[in-house]
Amino acid sequence: MTNPYAPPQAAVQDIVDPQAGIVLADRGTRLGAAILDSIIFMAMVYLPLVFTAVAGAITRTPGDETAATAMLVVGVAIALVGFGVWLWLTIKYAKRNGQSIAKKYVGIKVVRTDGSPISIGRLIWLRNVLNALISIIPFYGLIDSLFIFGEARRCLHDQIADTIVIKA
């Protein structure tokens, strides 16, 4: 006899069908790609700025700030060029097949949950910009990351954008 007061039961499947030939990316591979993307960004944008700031401080002479200022201007210019190159590469790979620079290197990519290619708008606005705006909420970043340990291996930003990360 069934309990009339029991909650309704439903089988919900939010994981891609394994028969479709789509294999979810490993958690460690996703973490490695995120770390590698951060290192690439820092090397292309922050490293030139820090290097020229330190060089300007070393070559600075008391009373003459022009050399230090010139080095800082050069550092900012190089950092802007590095940011432009990073942005161009990121958008190029994302448009082509849903990958960042590091995701391309480690062999994973972002697709919609049905396996179809992701649009660049969804990738940028929902997975990155909206996620960055929501991250002002305390502990959101931690909660977002912990969702990867679910059976579906989807972070909170994946669920917001209706995406999965698969082996390319």
**Model confidence over 80-112: pLDDT tens digits?**
999 999 999 999 999 999 999 999 999 999 999
> Is a pLDDT exceeding 80 seen at residue 114?
yes
Residues 6+ away with beta carbon under 8 Å from 57? 68
Closest CA to 33 of 115, 113, 90: 90
Task: Name the E strands within 41-162.
Answer: 108-112
**Count of structural domains, the chain:** 1
Residue 123 maps to a domain: yes
**Model confidence over 33-45: pLDDT tens digits?**
999 999 999 999 9
pLDDT of residue 17: 57
**Model confidence over 49-86: pLDDT tens digits?**
899 888 888 877 777 778 778 888 899 999 999 999 99
pLDDT of residue 31: 95
Measured CA to CA, the distance from residue 153 to residue 137 in angstroms comes to 22
Residue 10 maps to a domain: no
User: CA torsion angle for 145, 151, 157, 158 (degrees, to 10)?
Assistant: 140
Range of the domain at 124: 23-167
**21 vs 113, 160, 161, 167, CA distance in Å?**
13, 24, 22, 10
**Model confidence over 134-151: pLDDT tens digits?**
999 999 999 999 999 998
